[in-house]
Amino acid sequence: MEIASVHNPRVKDWAQLLEKKHRTRQGKYIIEGVHLVQEALEHGAMIECIAYDMDKGIPSELGAYPRTASTVEWIAVSAAVIAKCTDTVTPQAVFAVIRKDEKQVDELLVKPDSLVIVLDRLQDPGNVGTIIRSADAAGADGVILGRGSADVYNPKTIRSTMGSFFHLPVVEADLSEVLPAAKQAGVTLVSTSLTAEHSCYSYDFKGSRWLVIGNEGSGVSDEVSRLVDDAVIIPSKGQAESLNAAMAATVLLFEAMRQRHF
């Protein structure tokens, strides 16, 4: 199948996926680039279709997939269609439309000794994507995004994950419901504080530990703060006032990984 016109009804639907309200309405999102499309194919994402530049053909890295992924529709499109449906300055030659997989938080609640990152109103898509990538690298069991956080299906968020979005559960949830349930299941909630008694290097991250990362400007909300069990400080030797949210989350994740596995 080929689509050349940007006025095609399917193209209009795809282009709308650049906005959150349409992603919510359609229950779909869009990813761009060979690497992300590969990750989606390899990890069983619910791909509706893959659109590729009709002048360049299917990228060589994806050449084997049309024969193995029979449920995926492959569509040749014009460069103008690709430009309309993607948000990067220099669009890549392929994008995919994927149906949302609304993962549930329950699997994280019942997992023994779970290591989970909880994001409380974290609003920068780049930070959210980087934290998902770090959580994947550190072997965390999942990431929970509370209300008021950046949309995980935002193209910039997904690009920032570098494919890790497809490797572990990433769940959107109401923290006022999820966190009390987690505590009831035996989870210890840990956040960072400049006045904490524990250093992150002396704190015991073994067992079920959920790491709570707050908003870039105002930190953890009062409502969530009241639920937190322990606070740690990330010691600093230099003169930087603080680390940004993604860097702080990464330090905690890798210290937890070190204690648990090394």
Amino acid type, 58: I
Cα gap 149→128, rounded to integer Å: 8
pLDDT > 60? residue 67: no
Supply 50's token pair.
Answer: 């893959």
The per-residue pLDDT for range 1-10, each reduced to its tens digit, is 899 999 999 9
Question: 8: which residues sit within 8 A by CB, 6+ positions away?
Answer: 81
Torsion of CA 189, 143, 133, 86, to 10 degrees: -140
Q: Bridge-partner residues for 232, per DSSP?
A: 192, 198
pLDDT > 90? residue 142: yes
The per-residue pLDDT for range 86-95, each reduced to its tens digit, is 988 888 899 9
The 10 Å Cβ neighbour count of residue 68 is: 8
Q: What is the pLDDT of residue 89?
A: 82
Amino acid type, 136: D
Q: What is the pLDDT of residue 144?
A: 98
Q: Bridge-partner residues for 132, per DSSP?
A: none
pLDDT > 90? residue 71: no
What percent of the chain stands above pLDDT 70? Answer: 98
Mean pLDDT (whole number) for 199-209: 97
Torsion of CA 31, 43, 147, 179, to 10 degrees: -170
Query: pLDDT grade, residue 63 (50/70/90)?
Result: confident
Q: What is the pLDDT of residue 145?
A: 97
The model's pTM:
0.94
Mean pLDDT (whole number) for 128-136: 98
